Structure 1
Amino acid sequence: MFRTRKYLMVLLSAVVFIFTVAFQPQKEKNEVLTKEQLGEKLFFDPILSKGMAISCASCHIPDFAFADSAAFSKGDKGTLLPRNSPSLTNLSGRTEFFWDGRASSLEEQVLGPLSARDEMDLPIDDAVERLRKNDFYSAAFQRIFKSEVNSKNVLSAIASFERTLETTNTPYDRYLDGDDKAMSPSAIRGRILFIGKANCSTCHSGEDFTADRFKSIGLFNGRELTDPGRFKITSDSSHIGVFKIPGLRNVAVTAPYMHNAMFKSLRQVVEYYNTPDKFVKNSINRDLSLGSSLNLSEGEIDDVVAFLEALTDDRFRKK
């Protein structure tokens, strides 16, 4: 009797294993996705890099508000990229993308790293062909777009996912909604400084704390600091050293900072704005608003940093 029971248990386990293995691919094949979910799947899939070594998420890591914690990300061939990977959160309302503004839509932004030689290095036509040969993706695109995989719907799917990365569940938002204790006293003082004495809101305004403009904050001197920014795109001499003003939501988890990752902490960023000449000598084309010290005290710098930390969505806050 014991042997019979033991035999039946072994047989049952084998049947369960075979059933699981046999039907798991079928479950994925029949999985019903929205366009945004399909884009998310592509975002995390290395199928879109030439050597299948990286995915979009390799440079835009979810835990860091879809930015990179490294100063410079690595491409498909292990090449270090020349600029820091910015956050992808809260981009649905933006009108220009990349540090130099060379893309005018999220779809165009997706195409950039996909086809760039030092990044994913997979021309869009090759990406389309690869996805068409994949049973899962071929079927998924047919169900969602009612057509076979093409360049337009690949970019549309990923961009649609990126548009879902909006974040408003922060201490700052709860404070605005009437919860006076949602932000610390330091952060509340920092908000007043941010709007007033520190003059941050001139560039970082609106719901996402960006004026959607370009400005030179003095990070180009033609010597040690040689990235001319938007000038490489426009060839307009007034754009030398000019970069896109990023939004500040979730900024506390996206270190290091600036296009060249020169600042390792938010405090260093605020200290730079307070006394820029101590950090960069002989700046070229620096904006006139940064012509003199802000005269922030050490305590006031702490308060501004506390306010910036209060812009972090709960999904990214450390437990």
Structure 2
Amino acid sequence: MEKIRKTFVILLTLCLFTTVVGFQMQDKEVDTKEDLGERLFFDPILSKGQAISCASCHIPAFAFADTAAFSIGDKGTKLPRNSPALTNLSGRTDFFWDGRSGSLEDQVLGPLAAHDEMDLPIEQAVERLKKNDFYSAAFQKIFKAEVNARNLQKAIASFERTLETTNTPYDRFLDGNEDALTPAAKRGRILFIGKANCATCHSGEDFTADRFKNIGLFNGAELADAGRFTITKDSSHIGLFKVPGLRNVAVTAPYMHNAMFKTLKEVVSYYNTPDKFVSNSINRDLSLGASLNLTDPEMNDIVAFLEALTDDRFINK
């Protein structure tokens, strides 16, 4: 009975969220693919029971991630992986923790069709939108065609490509403002590049090398998530997960695919001494074979640098 009550409360909260945001979105003009995609992103019409929208699991105030360890699907089901952030994805090459989609357009199909997520296969979503006067007219206006699967994917993906963020203390520092970073963040940047060796995996403008890594969270325990192996069935891929970008990471807790860590300090502590957190790791990357020997103040400095990657739009949320 208690489990049923909690599920009901969660569903009610999600419904209230999507309803309020949905009403707000109705006031906006829809003139472009990006506008249409934004409207669809916030509209629960794309879930079977119309209980959730994309924004239910990817909350704007938190860099389009979820503050819950595991998001709740249309039927009140708890999902198996933490919802990743959706900012700064326009240059990415693989999507989802296991990389099962190769484009933002293909990525749209995953949550739509998944039974425990939105549970509305693309064909059913298209038919539902065709019967909706607003969306039927909007697709004709923007795409010069009736609603179809490809244009639905294009619209949502176009909106997601607008979620780029570069207005951060770190970016201002790179532009020549020496005071944009605190002394701790400056020290953390040097540690990030050097002693901590974070930049090996988190490189480039968005701090990801667009690769898959096994950081040691998989130990073969019952119900443990084998990551990319579940897609490729290649034994060398056991425990590999997509390396996420780090922009806005300070507002996207909890962390890792399994939401194992609640704070950035815990994440840095794990990389410092992984064996203290997970024993008997299988196929862990060789770069994580030994302690980084970071001191507590050094770990705090790295956290300060990571916090400086937060776009101004999220800082006061």
The equivalent of 1:219 in structure 2 is 217
The equivalent of 1:74 in structure 2 is 72
For the aligned residue pairs, the C-alpha RMSD in angstroms reads 1.4
Contact 2:229–2:237 under 8 Å retained in 1: yes
Stretches of structure 2 that go unaligned for 5 or more consecutive residues are 1-22
Q: One-letter code of the match for 1:291?
A: G
- CA drift at 1:275: 0.2
**TM-score computed with the length of structure 2 as normaliser:** 0.91
Q: CA offsets per residue over residues 180-225 of structure 1, 9 Å max, x none?
A: 0001000000000000000000000000000000010000001167
Among 179, 182, 193, the residue aligned to 2:177: 179
3-state SS, counterpart of residue 231 of structure 2: helix
CA distance in 2, matches of 1:240, 1:85: 21
Among 295, 299, 318, the residue aligned to 2:293: 295
3-state SS, counterpart of residue 130 of structure 1: helix
Q: CA offsets per residue over residues 73-114 of structure 1, 9 Å max, x none?
A: 000000000000000000000000000000000011111000
CA distance in 2, matches of 1:225, 1:58: 26
The equivalent of 2:39 in structure 1 is 41
Say whether residues 1:159 and 2:157 are aligned partners: yes
- CA drift at 1:155: 0.6
CA distance in 2, matches of 1:239, 1:126: 34
Residues 113-132 of structure 1: pairs in structure 2 closer than 5 A: 113-132=111-130
The equivalent of 2:302 in structure 1 is 304
3-state SS, counterpart of residue 72 of structure 1: coil
Stretches of structure 1 that go unaligned for 5 or more consecutive residues are 1-24
Q: One-letter code of the match for 1:303?
A: D
Q: CA offsets per residue over residues 123-167 of structure 1, 9 Å max, x none?
A: 111100110111110000000000000000001000000000000
The equivalent of 2:51 in structure 1 is 53
Q: CA offsets per residue over residues 6-34 of structure 1, 9 Å max, x none?
A: xxxxxxxxxxxxxxxxxxx9xx7994421
Contact 1:29–1:136 under 8 Å retained in 2: no
Contact 2:270–2:277 under 8 Å retained in 1: yes
The equivalent of 1:11 in structure 2 is none
Q: One-letter code of the match for 2:125?
A: A
Q: One-letter code of the match for 1:288?
A: L
CA distance in 2, matches of 1:163, 1:111: 16
Among 84, 89, 92, the residue aligned to 1:91: 89
**TM-score computed with the length of structure 1 as normaliser:** 0.90
Among 164, 167, 180, the residue aligned to 1:169: 167
3-state SS, counterpart of residue 52 of structure 1: coil
The equivalent of 1:283 in structure 2 is 281
Q: Count how many residue pairs are aligned between Structure 1 and Structure 2.
A: 293
Q: One-letter code of the match for 1:212?
A: D
The equivalent of 1:64 in structure 2 is 62
The equivalent of 1:269 in structure 2 is 267
CA distance in 1, matches of 2:75, 2:106: 23
Runs of 4+ in structure 1 deviating by more than 4 angstroms, as ranges, are: 28-32
Contact 2:29–2:35 under 8 Å retained in 1: no
The equivalent of 1:210 in structure 2 is 208
- CA drift at 1:232: 0.4
Contact 1:29–1:139 under 8 Å retained in 2: no
Q: One-letter code of the match for 2:233?
A: S
3-state SS, counterpart of residue 126 of structure 2: helix
The structure that has the greater radius of gyration is 1
